[in-house]
Each structure stands twice: as structure tokens, then as C-alpha cells.
Amino acid sequence: MTPPMPANKGIPMGDVEILVEQVEIATDRAAVRRAIEAGQPASPAEQIRKGLALYNLDSASELISPLNVYLRDAGGQLQGGLLGRTGASALFIETLWMAEPFRRRGYGRQVVLTAEREAARRGCHFAHVDTFSFHAPSFYRRLGYEVFGVLDGYKSGHIRYFFKKALA
């Protein structure tokens, strides 16, 4: 993996920096196919992922690329970030996490907005994410995300929300 490099020299926020992991955006479908086929699955789960990746490669109109954004403190220590991917004109936010001292201070907001800007630069028209009721769905609402689906009935009583947002 390429080490994270600053996106636009990073976004200084006091003693932190927000960095977009630099990745080569896949554009050569044949090269992607060769890379997938060359990998030797080490487990049944990896074999299933490989099979789906090849199917998706033939079926999807756009190639999928990772989009990861990191929050590092002044000492370079990881304090949070967003793991996602872009493709099919969308940003999918898979994971968002901030270390406790960095929560409720605007850093999560800046990380998500940074990912959205990068996704828009890549040609994405919308973003989507799913989260549970105990993960602060109000955070996404404040960022302009709208609920398009709700899944309840979990034994714990929690609710899963599915959000979407149009990107400028």
C-alpha cells in the first residue's frame, strides 16, 4: 500500500492533518482482470470475493477504487479516518471512526467532506452509507444525508439507517 500523502498538502486543523490516501484510479479493465486472476485465494471467503470481483468487472460500467481519508495528529499518529470506495458514480462510506479525544470537535465532519470532495473530483454524483442508531445517525443528517431506508427488528433494539447525499 502506498503511504498516505497529503491531499492539497493536507487540511491543517490545529494540531492535526487530514490526508487522502493516494491511489492509482483503475482505468484499464484488462489490467484489473489480470491482477484479479493472478491472485491466489487463500481461503474460501477470498475465492468468493475474487469470483464476485470478476463478475462485477464484466457487469459494472465503472471500475471500483478505494477512497481512504486519514486523520493524523501532530506526531503523525492515526487518530481516525474514513474507509470507502468509489465507482458506479458513487462514494460508498464503509467505515468512519475517530479516536475518543477527536470526537465531537469537527474532525469527523472534515474527514467526510474531504472524502466527498475527492469523490466528486473522481466523477461521483452521490454518496451513501449505512449506520446503526448507536453510531450517531444525526451526524450524517447534519452533513445533508437523507434516510432512504430503515431496517429495524434487531434483537438489541437498534435500528440500521441507510443514507444518501447528492454531491456537488
Q: Does residue 23 surpass a pLDDT of 60?
A: yes
**Are 98 and 156 found together in one domain?**
yes
| pLDDT for 168 | 82
Q: Does residue 10 surpass a pLDDT of 70?
A: no
Question: pTM of the full predicted structure?
Answer: 0.83
**Are 82 and 156 found together in one domain?**
yes
Determine what percent of the chain is predicted with pLDDT higher than 70: 91
Give me the number of domains the chain comprises: 2
Q: What's the pLDDT tens digit per position in 58-68?
A: 887 678 899 99
DSSP 58-127: HH-SS--EEEEEEEEETTS-EEEEEEEEEETTEEEEEEEEE-GGGTTTTHHHHHHHHHHHHHHHTT--EE
pLDDT range class, residue 13, cuts 50, 70, 90: low
**Are 119 and 40 found together in one domain?**
no
Domain that holds residue 52: 27-63
